Amino acid sequence: MSIDYDEAFARSRDVPAFSNGTEGETWMANWCSRCLRDAPFRNGLVKTGCPLVLISLMQRTPAEWLDGPRDEHGRYSMADQYHCIEFRAPGDGGGEPRPRPEPPDMDGLFPRPARQIRMYVQPGPVRELEVSAR
């Protein structure tokens, strides 16, 4: 697990992630129960699981959990309330993403961009454009 608990706790918001246990269990069943990052803990291979789950149990919301889609009234699906940016689905290969290697004996067509730091910022609401009648 590449996530450090202390750093993730410092970034987290001091707001409970879920309003009740049903909401938390529904979300975790949809995301955490199939995430490759937490699979060693679920299979009993390691003693500690995902620190983001522990932070949510401490009545905080991890910064890595971005708000999921909502309708025009602000309602959301419990299973999709947040989108975890650390989630790794089965078949994704797990771990950190790696760029494809250059073909042997060939230079790349374009220079590769430098790795960037993930920003833990909640995107703002999108406003509709005002169209004036002519």
pLDDT computed for residue 74 by the predictor: 83
Measured CA to CA, the distance from residue 31 to residue 87 in angstroms comes to 7
Give the list of residues 6+ apart from residue 16 with CB closer than 8 angstroms, or none.
59, 60, 61
CA 73 to chain centre: 24
pLDDT digits (tens, 9 = 90+) for 51-82: 999 999 999 999 999 988 888 888 888 888 89
> Of 48-52, 66-70, 80-84, 130-134, which gets the smallest average pLDDT?
130-134
pTM of the model: 0.64
